[in-house]
């Protein structure tokens, strides 16, 4: 059996899709926390109908990960964690207990009508429910099934649970993050957000879109094996390539760059600023603005020379940058097209005129009116960061706020499966929903 909606004729290209580039797709989201939900939010933002399956009464773990917690209309702190809002916009929440035979059958029926399924259970975790790839493939061969795990479907670590922090440590990322052991506060440091989870979500998105494109030609879906450790090794980028090809093990340089100088923070008279000088022309223009002739010195003329002599150059630059305020330096250097900027906190970043001009803060209501929210005893108004995916013809859309737990259960089961009110009530009474 295949998903019938996927076999329909393509839309008339002259008629724009009002709900996004992926509005023809159905996605079943069995993931939780961050990597999987980040992937499915990308698909949802681009118009896909994403059905998020959650455990009744509990939901996604991140609904409870706080502080910070939302405040209600009266300014009182609730028990709803803000974490969930970061990666569950534009989805519909359906509560199903997949530990029950009835729940397994409901999810199976939803999978038969889906183009994509995303899950992040431990390797083989869904097999006992008959919801693994091979089981669902037999009924829906067009299904694209994306598994996100810590260590992948193969290898000695495959059975292990994986977490962002653990993988940051195991991959070597923490070994190149933070200040050197010789400096105050030196030692390995985790990145300030769960960067491996986020990158994994993006890689999973790319893989899913690739599999969808392949399906246009083969008519078949496929299984996608995405692992946090694989992603972490991939995003070592130039540091990984440097080791593989030179044998040199990179260390921690704080805010400095191993291959580009000056490319770091510098003190001013009232705080630190960031200089990102990426070529020799920019360095020459910095020197002109600062009133120094360092660019004519063969020790500093080229980037390779500046890297070799960074221990001499950086203290000299720091002495100069301390002579003006941050605002003065930024105005002076921007006039010379030298990349620079403040080191903002998050509040300052959202207040930045460029961020505001790009409308990167969005707000949505879960329910049409506050009375409905009060009835469900949930916060109604939710803010999140806008999708950075900007397509000229079919931009990202805002359809659903990060949903309340089970907010769309009745709606989706009626729409997808034709479930009657009587059947819904019966399953609700049995705590399947």
Contact 275, 338 (CB under 8 A): yes
3-state secondary structure the chain: CCCHHHHCCCCCCCCCCCCCCCCCCEEEEECCCCHHHHHHHHHHHCCCEEEEEECCCCCCHHHHCCCCEEECCCCCEEEEECHHHHCCCCEEEEECCCCCHHHHHHHHHHHHCCCEEEECCCCCCCHHHCCCHHHHHCCCCCCEEEEEECCCCCCCCCCCCCCHHHHHHHCCCHHHCCCCCCCCCCCCCCCCCCHHHHHHHHHHHHHHHHHHHHHHHHCCCCEEEEEHHHHHHHCCHHHHHHHHHHCCCCCCCCCCCCCCCCEEEEEECCEEEEEECCCHHHHHHHHHHHCCCHHHCCCCCCHHHHHHCHHHHHHHHHHHHCCCCHHHHHHHHHHCCCCEEECCCHHHHHHCHHHHHCCCEEEEECCCCHHHHHHHCCCCEEEEECCCCCCCCCCCCCCCCCCCCCCCHHHHHHHHHCCCHHHHHHHHHCCCC
- The whole-angstrom separation of Cα 268 and Cα 100 is 62
Return contacts of 185-189, CB within 8 angstroms, 24+ apart: 186/252, 188/252
Per-residue pLDDT of the chain (433 residues), as tens digits, is: 333 333 333 444 444 445 799 999 999 999 999 999 999 999 999 999 999 999 999 999 999 999 999 998 888 999 999 999 999 999 999 999 999 999 999 999 999 999 999 999 999 999 999 999 999 999 999 999 999 999 999 999 999 999 999 999 999 999 999 999 888 889 999 999 999 999 999 999 999 999 999 999 999 999 999 999 999 999 999 999 999 999 999 999 999 999 999 999 999 999 999 999 999 999 999 999 999 999 999 999 999 999 999 999 999 999 999 999 999 999 999 999 999 999 999 999 999 999 999 999 999 999 988 888 888 889 999 999 999 999 999 999 999 999 999 999 999 999 999 999 999 999 999 999 9
The torsion of the CA quartet 103, 109, 112, 115, rounded to 10 degrees, works out to -60
Q: Where are the domains of the chain?
A: 4-235+358-429, 263-345
Q: In sequence order, what are the residues at sequence separation of 6 or more whose Cβ sits closer than 8 angstroms to the Cβ of residue 192?
A: none
Residue 139 CB coordination number (10 Å): 13
Whole-angstrom distance between the N-terminal and C-terminal Cα of the chain?
25
CATH (residue range 4-235+358-429): 3.40.50.10540
Indicate which residue of 197, 230, 293, 319 is catalytic. 197
263-345 under CATH 3.30.1540.10, yes or no = yes
* Catalytic residue flag (residue 197): yes
- The whole-angstrom separation of Cα 189 and Cα 130 is 41
How far from the centroid of its chain's Cα atoms is residue 325's Cα?
35
Pairing state between β 116-119 and 26-30: parallel
Contact 64, 141 (CB under 8 A): no
Residue 110 CB coordination number (10 Å): 21
């Amino acid at each position: 059996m295949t998903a019938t909606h996927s076999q329909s004729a393509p839309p008339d290209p002259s008629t724009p899709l009002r709900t996004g580039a992926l509005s023809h797709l159905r996605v079943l989201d069995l993931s939780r926390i961050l990597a999987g939900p980040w992937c499915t939010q990308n698909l949802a933002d681009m118009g896909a109908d994403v059905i998020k399956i959650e455990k009744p009464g509990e939901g996604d773990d991140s609904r409870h990960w706080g502080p910070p917690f939302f405040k209600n209309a009266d300014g009182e702190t609730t028990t709803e964690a803000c974490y969930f809002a970061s990666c569950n916009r534009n989805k519909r929440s359906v509560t199903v207990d997949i530990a029950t035979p009835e729940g397994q059958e409901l999810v199976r029926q939803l999978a038969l009508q889906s183009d994509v399924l995303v899950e992040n259970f431990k390797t083989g975790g869904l097999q006992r429910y008959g919801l693994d790839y091979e089981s669902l493939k037999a009924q829906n061969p067009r299904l694209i099934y994306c598994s996100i795990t810590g260590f992948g479907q193969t290898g000695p670590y495959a059975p292990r649970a994986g977490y962002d922090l653990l993988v940051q440590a195991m991959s070597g990322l923490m070994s190149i993050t933070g200040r050197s052991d010789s400096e105050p506060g030196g030692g390995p440091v985790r990145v300030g957000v769960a960067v491996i989870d986020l990158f994994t979500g993006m890689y999973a998105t790319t893989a899913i879109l690739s599999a969808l494109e392949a399906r246009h030609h083969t008519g078949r879906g496929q299984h996608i094996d995405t692992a946090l450790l694989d992603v972490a090794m991939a995003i070592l980028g130039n540091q990984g390539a440097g080791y593989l090809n030179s044998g040199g093990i990179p260390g921690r340089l704080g805010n400095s760059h191993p291959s580009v100088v000056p490319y770091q923070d510098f003190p001013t008279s009232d705080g630190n600023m960031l200089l990102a000088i990426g070529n020799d022309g920019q360095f020459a223009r910095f020197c002109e603005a600062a009133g120094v002739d360092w660019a004519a010195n063969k020790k500093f003329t080229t980037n390779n020379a500046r890297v070799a002599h960074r221990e001499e150059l950086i203290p000299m630059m720091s002495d100069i940058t301390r002579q003006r305020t941050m605002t003065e330096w930024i105005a002076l250097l921007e006039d010379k097209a030298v990349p620079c900027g403040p080191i903002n906190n998050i509040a300052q970043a959202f207040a930045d005129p460029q961020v505001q001009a790009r409308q990167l803060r969005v707000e949505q209501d879960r329910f049409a009116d506050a009375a409905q929210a009060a009835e469900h005893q949930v916060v109604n108004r939710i803010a999140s960061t806008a999708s950075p995916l900007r397509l000229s013809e079919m931009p990202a859309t805002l359809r659903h706020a990060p949903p309340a737990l089970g907010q769309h259960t009745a709606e989706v089961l009626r729409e997808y499966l034709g479930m009657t009110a009587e059947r819904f009530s019966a399953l609700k009474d049995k705590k399947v929903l």
